[in-house]
Amino acid sequence: MDWIEISLSVDGESAEAVAELLQRYGHQGVAIEQDGIMPEMWDDGDVPEPTRLIIRAYIVADDRVEEAKAKLEQALGYMNLMYPMPKPVYRVVKEDDWAEAWKVHYQPVRLGRKLFIRPLWVDIQPQPDDIVIALDPGMAFGTGTHPTTQLCMEALEDLVKPGVNVLDLGCGSGILAITAAKLGAAHVLGLDIDPVAVEVTEENIAQNGVADKITVHQGSLENVITSARRFDLIVVNILARIIIAMCDQHLGDTVRPGGLALFSGIIEDQADEVEAALRKTGLEPYARRKSGDWVVIEARRPQR
């Protein structure tokens, strides 16, 4: 069975909308990467802010592919009435190459003070004090190349204290859960509604030797609310509209009094609306981290 790779080069403002659209058609979600950042630039830590992002999705090359293309291009046409949209680029990927197709775009990344993300298939010597996160994201979201993930990791490096309990809601490849564990968290619960993401996270946990610190399940916010569990720190790297919807589902109750929360997947223009929703769920936003058009919001639950 062959696959069709769909890719679009977009700016940060339209990236969320395009990614959401491709998720309707793509098998096992979408991949988002920085456009125009050469691999040799990753090692020196001086990576410029991205001006363009590439959104990729894969669909089965069967008798329904032309219908899927037509629907996708029609939807892009409607979006183009409000904001300029690029033409999708299609490429046939053979079954044997499908799982490897995106790996050429995934390079080692240095972040923050000591964080070093290394693809499992890249043999490179880390620095003595590096905190190494070795990953094979498979087809799950979370390679560490997207600004939302990078901002979250840098925030975790500042906020994770030894012994804290962490919730990674929408864990994707497990990159944030693994980062929190390696930074000293006592335990991390990773949840994702996608069973593929859970499987990929479990594999990456084992590769990084932190299986004793991380538990991962297929699930959602509802599972946490039902269990009445509270965490010292939660991280939610999803989409702004989903975060806002979760606020109506008592998202703030997952954070213990005095605990902290990180929210990402947010375009700068959406940040005020997200912060208003966070306040309604009992959290107090107190800081923002920014990379290009993307924002991470830091919040706390007041002591009462």
Q: Which of 73, 82, 89 is nearest to 8 (CA)?
A: 89
- Of the CA atoms within 13 Å of residue 137, those in its CB half-sphere come to 30
In this prediction, what percent of the chain has a pLDDT beyond 70? Answer: 84
pLDDT one-digit tens code per residue, 121-145: 777 787 888 898 888 755 445 566 6
pLDDT value at 13 more than 80: no
Task: Evaluate if residue 287 carries a pLDDT over 90.
Answer: yes
Domain with CATH 3.30.70.120 in the chain: 3-101
pLDDT over threshold 80, residue 71: yes
For residue 41, the model assigns a pLDDT of 43
Closest Cα partner for 167 from 118, 236, 116, 245? 236
Does the pLDDT value for residue 233 go beyond 50?
yes
Q: What is the mean pLDDT of residues 261-281?
A: 94
Architecture of domain 3-101 in this structure: 2-Layer Sandwich (3.30)
User: Which fold is adopted by the domain 141-300?
Assistant: Rossmann fold (3.40.50)
Distance, in Å, from the CA atom of 9 to the CA atom of 143, rounded to the nearest integer, reads 18
Q: Give the 3-state secondary structure of residue 31.
A: strand
**pTM of the full predicted structure?**
0.72
pLDDT beyond 90 at 53: no
Contact between residue 8 and residue 32 where contact means Cβ atoms under 8 Å apart: no
From-to residues of CATH 3.40.50.150 in the chain = 141-300
Mean pLDDT, rounded, for 137-158: 76
